[in-house]
Amino acid sequence: MKPDTAQKTVPPLLEVRRLVKTYKSLTAVDDVSFAIPRGICFGLLGPNGAGKTTTVEMMEGIISADSGEVYYKGALRAADFNEEIGIQFQHTELLSYLTVRETLQTFHKLYSRTEDIDVLLKTCNLLEIQKQYNDKISGGQRQRLLLALALVNRPELLFLDEPSTGLDPQARRNLWDIVLNIKSQGKTIILTTHYMREAQTLCDEVAIMDHGCIIARGTVPDLIGEYCSEDSNGGPCAEANLETVFIKLTGRQLRE
C-alpha cells in the first residue's frame, strides 16, 4: 500500500463568507468574504462609513449578521471562540481606583486559561508603572494596558481597533514594536486603523472597504505595485505608499 503523500490543507484561522448587515435602508456590509491565514497581521481599512467596524463586530460576535457565516479553524464559530480571542477596543473605561497590576489581576480571574501577569507587564512595557492608578497614566501607557488586557487569556486571535489613535510619535512607535513582537510569537492579528503608515508597518495583508464592499485586497507591496505605478497623468507616482493606494481607491472627498 502506497503511503499517502498528499499534504493536508491547513484551513485559515478565520474566514468570513458572504456577510451582510443592513440597517433600515442602508446596507452597511454587502456580501463580504475573505480568509485570514494563521500568524499574520491582517489590516481591514476604509474611510468612515465604509463598513469595516460593522464587519469586525460581526467577526468578533458582538453583533449578528443578517446573512453569511464566520468560520474559525475551519468550522463554524462556536461558543469557545470567545475564550480564544482578545479584543483591544478603541474606547474602554478603566476603574480609576485600581492600579495597572490590579486591573490585570481583575481581568485574570475571568478566564480559565491565562497568561502570567508579570509576562504581560513585561511584554507591554508596563513594569515601571504597574503600581500607578489608572487615572494617573498617560495615553500611551493606557493603550499598552488595554493591549495587555486583550492578551490576558493567551488568545490565538487578537483584534486591535485603532490602537494608536491620539498617541504621539514615540508612544506610537513603541506600540508598533510591541505588536510586531506579539506577531512574532505566532499570534494572528486583525487591525483596523485610519493611519496608513501604521498599516504599512504592521500588516502582512490588507483589505480596503468602501460602501460596504471589499474593493481591494493583497499584500502591501502588491497593492503599491498595482496602484502606484503611475499617477493620473500617466507619470510616475510621487509617493508610492499605502496612503496613495487608499486615496486612489476611495477618493479625496472628506467623509464625516
Instruction: State how beta strands 85-88 and 75-76 pair.
Output: unpaired
Residue 62 lies in a domain: no
Tally the domains of the chain. Answer: 1
User: Distance between CA 37 and CA 29 in Å, rounded?
Assistant: 22
Residue 61 lies in a domain: no
- pTM score, whole prediction: 0.91
Residue 96 lies in a domain: yes
User: Distance between CA 52 and CA 45 in Å, rounded?
Assistant: 7
Residue 18 lies in a domain: no
Residue 206 lies in a domain: yes
Residue 211 lies in a domain: yes
Q: Which domain, by its residues, includes 195?
A: 37-51+84-250
Question: What b-and-e string marks burial along 198-235, b requiring 16 or more CB atoms within 10 Å of the CB?
Answer: bbbbbbebbbbbbebebebebebeebbeebbeeeeeee
pLDDT tens track of the chain, all 256 residues? Answer: 455 545 578 889 999 999 999 998 899 999 999 999 999 999 999 999 999 999 999 999 999 999 999 999 999 999 889 999 999 988 788 999 999 999 999 999 999 899 999 999 999 999 999 999 999 999 999 999 999 999 999 999 999 999 998 899 999 999 999 999 999 999 999 999 999 999 999 999 999 999 999 999 999 999 999 998 766 566 667 788 999 999 999 987 766 6
Residue 207 lies in a domain: yes
User: Distance between CA 207 and CA 86 in Å, rounded?
Assistant: 21
Residue 239 lies in a domain: yes
User: Distance between CA 191 and CA 86 in Å, rounded?
Assistant: 12
Write the CATH number for 139.
3.40.50.300
Smallest CA-to-CA distance from 85 within 119, 50, 59, 55 is with 59
Q: Are 191 and 44 in contact (CB under 8 A)?
A: yes
